[in-house]
Amino acid sequence: MSTQMKWSQKLIKNGELRTKGALLLWERTNLLVEVYEDEEFRLHCLEVIKRNPEDRLDDDCDDTGFSFLDLMSVMKRFPEKEQWEDKHPKRLLAQIIADGKEKRRKENPTERPRPSKKELEELARELTAAKAQVNTIKADREEQVQSLQQRYEVLRRENQELTRKLSHAEGRIAELERVVSRELAAGFQER
């Protein structure tokens, strides 16, 4: 039994220290918020040490596991010391975040209500019809592509044949020009 008393007493002591820690953190946060709101401090941060005031105050919170802005958010939402005594600041911050998400969800609902069975059946019919239409268009396009490929092949062969004929004709013209040139040269020599 004495072993149980020791661990149970330790848990009780831990709970007391935790509450004291939360209350001390409330006091620290309250002081830091007052410092943050002091215009002289803000100017000193910006002009002398060239840092944002909240970044400077983060240095004073680094042992807490929170940023200054997190603690300030908790303080603004839960300003009473008793609120921090009842709940740890981590839970208070989680509540602020959850409330913000809930508020945004209500303001900008992205989820639609679940469709009825009839609506689902109608959507399924529309989807089936759309797929059939896509398949028809796809088949038509494939047929057009095949037809164009065949036409291309015919034109390519005709082009090769015409290129061959043109080359032959150019060679024949060059040969005739040589013959005419010789005959003209021979005709001038006879005169």
Separation between Cα atoms, residue 149 and residue 96, nearest integer Å? 65
Separation between Cα atoms, residue 69 and residue 67, nearest integer Å? 5
Q: CB of 23 within 8 A of CB of 84?
A: yes
Does the model's pTM come out above 0.85?
no
Residues of the chain with pLDDT under 70: 1-5, 109-112, 191
Per-residue pLDDT, 112: 65
Per-residue pLDDT, 164: 95
Separation between Cα atoms, residue 71 and residue 65, nearest integer Å? 10
Per-residue pLDDT, 9: 85
Per-residue pLDDT, 4: 61
| The two three-digit tokens of residue 73, written as one number | 């958010």
Q: Please enumerate in sequence order all residues whose Cβ is within 8 A of that of 35, keeping only pairs 6 or more positions apart, or say none.
A: 41, 57
Q: What does the domain layout of the chain look like in residue ranges?
A: 2-107, 119-191
* Residue whose tokens read 């797929």: 131
| The Cα angle at residue 32 between residues 72 and 59, in degrees rounded to 5 | 95
Query: How do residues 10-20 score in pLDDT, each as one tens digit?
Result: 878 877 777 78
Q: What 8-state DSSP symbol labels residue 44?
A: I
Separation between Cα atoms, residue 56 and residue 177, nearest integer Å? 95
- The closest of 79, 115, 73, 110 to 95, measured between CA atoms, is 73
Separation between Cα atoms, residue 88 and residue 68, nearest integer Å? 16
Per-residue pLDDT, 5: 62
Please, what is the angle between helix 89-107 and helix 2-37, to 10°? 60
Per-residue pLDDT, 110: 63
Query: How do residues 79-114 score in pLDDT, each as one tens digit?
Result: 888 887 777 777 887 887 887 777 777 777 666 677
Per-residue pLDDT, 185: 84
